[in-house]
Amino acid sequence: MRDERWTVVLVTYDSIEAEIIKDLLESGGVPVVLRSSKVSPYPVNIGKIGEIKILVRDEDKEIAEKLIKEEIDISE
């Protein structure tokens, strides 16, 4: 089995934004992992506790960044 490495392409404090970006990337064929230190009963968004990291495989980083940039350009 191949050892996959994952890299952060975006950090957000908004769980809805994280899910939208995850859906965008997955619809482009890019596997995504969301990582967060939030504790469910306490929706605190202060500092590192509120961060949601969006990770993709190293080999998908360029395409993921391109998809995110295209989406931002369209919505502006």
pLDDT of residue 74: 76
E strand segments, 1-76:
6-12, 32-36, 52-57
pLDDT of residue 15: 87
Separation of alpha carbons 14 and 30, rounded Å: 21
pLDDT digits over 14-58, tens only? 889 999 999 999 999 999 999 987 666 666 566 667 789 999 999
Tokens of 43: 């929706």
**CATH 3.30.70.1530 applies to domain 6-75:** yes
pLDDT digits over 50-74, tens only? 789 999 999 999 999 999 998 887 7
Separation of alpha carbons 12 and 76, rounded Å: 18
User: Residue 1: is its pLDDT beyond 50?
Assistant: no
Q: Is 47 left (phi over 0), alpha (psi -120 to 50) or beta?
A: left
